[in-house]
Amino acid sequence: MNSIEKHTLFIKTAASRLGFSYCGIAKAARLDEDARRLEAWLNQGMQGNMKYMENHFDLRIDPARLVPGAQSVITLLMNYYPAHTQQAANPKISKYAYGKDYHEVIRAKLNQLLQLMNQEIGQVTGRGFVDSAPVLERSWAQKSGLGWIGKNGNLINKQQGSFFFISTLIVDIPLQYDDPMAKDYCGTCRKCIDACPTDAINENKVVDGSKCISYFTIELKDMMIPENMQGKFDNWMFGCDACQDVCPWNRFSQPNTEPEFTPIPELLEFSLADWQELTEESFKRIFRHSPLKRAKFDGIRRNLRFLQQ
């Protein structure tokens, strides 16, 4: 086994020990094809008010702009599928938000992985990213052989579906690269397209972010949700899993084993009345480490009002 193979094996073994479900590695290079798709998506205004999607375009498509001398992009998947879900009648929350904020959990693990690499391999310059920087995570995951991009825009893994957080670690050392996922296993299935409450998914595997329930309930900062969305939210209060819940590949989903993703009890139990009676002080206390804090108390109240109109 040569040094590159040895280093690659160490990284994948360490990633598994840290709780990552899958680890794939691709050669760092410009993502020119992805750049064209992103540019077309932005030109059609599908980012809505998410202006940050328009920023740092060059950084998104060239890993060397983020890590000088970048040679490898390590992609890591972490399962968040919960063992228990909400009561059917309660205001619905996307499963990724059941436990502790994934940014905090995964960022710490990426830092640990980079530290372990420096101890084992030597001086490695790298940066970890988890949904917080201009990185096209799903493209790198596909190039690393971890899955394909489904019609709903999610990365789908053949063994366990799509309920995964995706993070990347860009490093300046050569590694053994995985074969990209060349095949799309969605076939003629259109369950996600038909299930989307707001018709945000089109036939060309393009998701109109400006129509997505997750956009309206999390990203949109206006205190009014457009009236033309009235009656279309299917009781989703924060995020939306409609397209994932119907995906046939998610029949293979397994409950995660990460203690930090254990659902907050109130989140699973709260009825509509409980949410309506919740004070801002209690919200900040109960959800201080939760992704729900991103919408803030006023945003949650706005979403609840919209569901009841």
How many contiguous H segments (helices) and E segments (strands) does the chain have?
Answer: 12, 8
Please report the DSSP string for 88-120 in residue order: TTSPEE-GGGSSS-HHHHHHHHHHHHHHHHHHH
Please enumerate in sequence order all residues whose Cβ is within 8 A of that of 232, keeping only pairs 6 or more positions apart, or say none.
Answer: 197, 198, 213
Name 294's Cβ contacts closer than 8 Å, sequence gap at least 6. Answer: 218
Spot the catalytic one: 32, 34, 58, 131.
131
Of the candidates 306, 296, 293, the residue with the CA atom closest to the CA atom of residue 235: 306
DSSP 65: G
Q: Which of 307, 292, 297, 282 is nearest to 96 (CA)?
A: 292
Tell me which DSSP letter residue 45 carries.
T
CA dist 128 and 11 (Å) reads 14
Q: Cβ distance 27 to 57 under 8 Å?
A: no
104: which residues sit within 8 A by CB, 6+ positions away? 289
Query: How many whole angstroms separate alpha carbon 93 and alpha carbon 244?
Result: 13
List C-alpha distances in Å: 25 to 20, 61, 71, 82, 232.
Answer: 14, 17, 10, 27, 40
CB 136 within 8 A of CB 38: yes
- 199 part of the active site: no
Distance CA 102, CA 108 (A): 10
Could you list the active site residues? 131
